[in-house]
């Protein structure tokens, strides 16, 4: 199987003329199934811009993006149904959990399965199973407001995994957590890459969190560079 995501010469400029800001200079990279990649860089360096472009939320200015073998962007969107595509192929984890406040943990996870056409009972069963995998099944009936920050983030990860997407994108998923909980969330993302063979790209500006990644990218003022990875656990199949 080929790369889950291939980015070729993707750039993004906000605004026009004198006010134009090139948030992302042309950048290229790819991520394989089972690979855990970190994206580091200071605030304002273009990390979210890159992640939102890959998730078909923000339109790049130029370049090409291929996800799961489908060209989604080629100097313009290629006309795929972005919502349906995202639901099937991409799980997104935000800095803030973004859970629906009036739905319980299990309902939050089941909802995205329902949107993908899975029946109510089956969705609930699978959502419970997923919460079990994330070691949070005992909180299945709780509303987000009654969960701790770490628990909320695990439910949000459950939601991102719900439709078993080949690509998981996380934008500073540990920013709202203390170091211990943050480390656990990172360990969970690592396990997801290893066991479920998803490609995982996680943005962090916390250098304490970069142990155990297969690949580490650094963004500085919109320029992407690949750093030597530290502590890569296993070789990634091409």
Ligand X SMILES: Nc1ncnc2c1ncn2[C@@H]1O[C@H](COP(=O)(O)OP(=O)(O)O)[C@@H](O)[C@H]1O
Q: What residue ranges in 111-214 does DSSP mark as E strands?
A: 167-171, 199-203
In the complex, the smallest distance separating the C-beta of residue 48 from ligand X, rounded to whole angstroms, is 3
Distance from C-alpha of 190 to C-alpha of 199, rounded to nearest angstrom: 10
Distance from C-alpha of 238 to C-alpha of 230, rounded to nearest angstrom: 19
Position 47 contacts ligand X (CB under 6 A): yes
Position 11 contacts ligand X (CB under 6 A): no
* Residue 237 CA to its chain's centroid (Å): 20
Q: What are the beta bridge partners of residue 67?
A: 5, 70
Position 124 contacts Mg ion (CB under 5 A): no
For the segment 152-211, give every residue that binds ligand X (CB under 6 A). none
User: Which of Mg ion, ligand X, none is residue 14 near (CB under 5 to 8 Å by kind)?
Assistant: ligand X
> Which residue's entry shows tokens 């790369």?
3
In the complex, the smallest distance separating the C-beta of residue 221 from ligand X, rounded to whole angstroms, is 9
How many residues bind ligand X, per CB under 6 A? 12
> Which residue's entry shows tokens 């920050």?
149
Position 21 contacts ligand X (CB under 6 A): yes
Any residues with CB less than 8 A from the CB of 98 and at least 6 apart, and which?
156
In the complex, the smallest distance separating the C-beta of residue 49 from ligand X, rounded to whole angstroms, is 3
Q: Which two tokens stand for residue 229?
A: 């990875």
User: Which of Mg ion, ligand X, none is residue 153 near (CB under 5 to 8 Å by kind)?
Assistant: none
Q: Which of 11, 32, 48, 198 binds ligand X (CB under 6 A)?
A: 48
Classify the C-alpha dihedral 201-207-213-218 as positive or negative. Answer: positive
Region from 39-47, 149-157, 194-202, 222-230 binding Mg ion, contact rule CB under 5 A: 39-47
* Residue 160 CA to its chain's centroid (Å): 8
Instruction: Give 28 or 146: the residue with its C-beta nearer to ligand X.
Output: 28
Q: Which of 11, 32, 45, 48 binds Mg ion (CB under 5 A)?
A: 48
Region from 25-33, 45-53, 187-195, 210-218 binding Mg ion, contact rule CB under 5 A: 45-53
Any residues with CB less than 8 A from the CB of 31 and at least 6 apart, and which?
3, 4, 5, 37, 167, 199, 200, 201, 215
Instruction: Give 61 or 142: the residue with its C-beta nearer to ligand X.
Output: 61
Instruction: Give 12 or 47: the residue with its C-beta nearer to Mg ion.
Output: 47
Region from 42-50, 58-66, 120-128, 179-187 binding Mg ion, contact rule CB under 5 A: 42-50
Find the angle CA(167)-CA(217)-CA(177) to the nearest 5 degrees: 70
Contact positions vs ligand X (CB under 6 A): 14-15, 21, 23, 41, 43-49
């Amino acid at each position: 199987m080929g790369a889950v995501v291939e980015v070729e010469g993707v750039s993004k400029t906000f605004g026009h003329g004198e006010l134009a800001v090139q948030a992302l200079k042309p950048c290229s990279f790819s991520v394989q199934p089972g690979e855990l990649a970190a994206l580091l860089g200071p605030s304002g360096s273009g990390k979210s811009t890159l992640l939102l472009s890959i998730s078909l939320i923000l339109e790049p200015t130029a370049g090409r993006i291929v996800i799961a073998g489908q060209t989604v962007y080629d100097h313009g969107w290629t006309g795929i149904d972005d919502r349906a595509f995202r639901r099937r192929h991409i799980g997104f984890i935000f800095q803030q959990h973004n859970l629906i406040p009036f739905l319980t943990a299990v309902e939050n996870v089941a909802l995205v399965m329902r949107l993908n056409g899975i029946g109510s009972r089956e969705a609930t069963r699978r959502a419970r199973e997923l919460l079990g995998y994330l070691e949070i099944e005992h909180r299945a009936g709780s509303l987000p407001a009654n969960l701790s920050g770490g628990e909320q983030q695990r439910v949000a990860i459950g939601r991102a995994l719900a439709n078993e997407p080949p690509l998981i994108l996380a934008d500073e998923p540990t920013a709202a957590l203390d170091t211990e909980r943050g480390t656990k969330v990172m360990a969970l993302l690592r396990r997801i890459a290893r066991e479920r063979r998803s490609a995982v790209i996680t943005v962090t500006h916390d250098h304490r969190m970069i142990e155990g990644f297969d690949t580490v990218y650094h963004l500085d003022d919109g320029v992407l560079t690949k750093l030597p990875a530290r502590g890569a656990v296993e070789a990634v199949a091409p």
